[in-house]
Amino acid sequence: MRIRLHPTLGLLLALAVTVSSGCAWRKAPQPAGTAAPSTGTLEATPPAPAAAPAPPALAVPAPPPLASPEPAPAVSAAEKAYAGGMAALQEGGTERALDLFTAALKEKPVYPEASRAYDETLVALKKQGDAAYAQGKAEEAGKRWMDTLRHINHAGAKGKAYPFTRAEVQGQVDRLTAAQMEKGLLNYRKGDIPAAIAAWKTILAYDPENEEAARSIRTASTQLENLKKIPPAK
């Protein structure tokens, strides 16, 4: 028996079969982390943009070569002498300082620093002699005064106004020498020959060229030797 479907019902059945077929062909969703199959038509992946070129490296200039240190300026003989004189003053060597200042001025006559130091030291030396004489130190006083006379004749001191003159210092030396000669004679006459010789040797300590003191010492020394040869009285 042949069943005849209504045309409308037949069309609905055909549509149902078509939809069912389309649903069966659709792929089930893939679980996360699973690569998609390569079947089917895939859209082309656009190429990754090209990396930008690295900037060129900057050229670092080499550091300039170190300049050689400038050599220290040479110290002249005058400057060395002046420095030595100042050092001698710090150590209390007044006479030594004057000798070095004299050497500096000899090498360099126009040397204001050395000239000023020379003048100040010379005045100090004279004062030292005065102080020693006041304390009864005849030998020290004589040495200071004689050194003052020796340096006051230097070219660097000529024409300068000091609080003393050469004649005044020479007078002090002469009076000191006369007093020491008299002291020796008094001791000699009393028979104290060793004390007489000591007084005259004081003169030679600051004035080695004093012939009178040297002659007196020779005479007293000879007499002292003769006295030693005399046997003691029993």
Domain of residue 192, CATH code: 1.25.40
Among 137, 164, 191, give the residue marking a domain's end. 164
Work out the average pLDDT over 202-230: 93
Among 131, 164, 197, give the residue marking a domain's end. 164
Cα distance between residue 232 and residue 223, in whole Å: 16
Whether 60 is in a domain gets the answer no
Closest C-alpha to 140, from 154, 121, 127, 153:
127
Cα angle 210-224-192, degrees, rounded to a multiple of 5: 80
Whether 40 is in a domain gets the answer no
**Which stretches of the chain are DSSP H helices?**
7-25, 77-90, 94-107, 112-134, 138-152, 166-189, 193-206, 211-229
Residues 160 and 183 grouped into a single domain? no
| Residue 89 token pair | 């003053």
Distant-in-sequence, close-in-space partners of 196: CB < 8 Å, separation ≥ 6: 184, 185, 186, 187, 188, 216, 220
| Residue 27 token pair | 């792929």
Residues 147 and 173 grouped into a single domain? no
Tell me the pTM. 0.65
- Mean pLDDT taken over the chain: 80
Closest C-alpha to 153, from 92, 102, 84:
102
Residues 81 and 155 grouped into a single domain? yes
* The predicted structure's pLDDT at residue 39: 46
Whether 5 is in a domain gets the answer no
Residues 179 and 219 grouped into a single domain? yes
pLDDT in tens, 156-210: 676 678 999 999 999 999 999 999 999 999 999 999 999 999 999 999 999 999 9
* The predicted structure's pLDDT at residue 105: 92
The single residue listed with the structure tokens 């070129």 is 53
Neighbours of 124 (CB within 10 A): 15
Work out the average pLDDT over 99-117: 93
Cβ distance 117 to 100 under 8 Å? Answer: no
Q: Which amino acid is at 211?
A: E
Task: Give the domain extent around 182.
Answer: 165-234
Higher pLDDT, 143 or 61: 143
Task: Report the domain count for the chain.
Answer: 2
* The predicted structure's pLDDT at residue 58: 60
Residues 80 and 160 grouped into a single domain? yes
Q: Which amino acid is at 142?
A: G
Cα distance between residue 88 and residue 97, in whole Å: 5
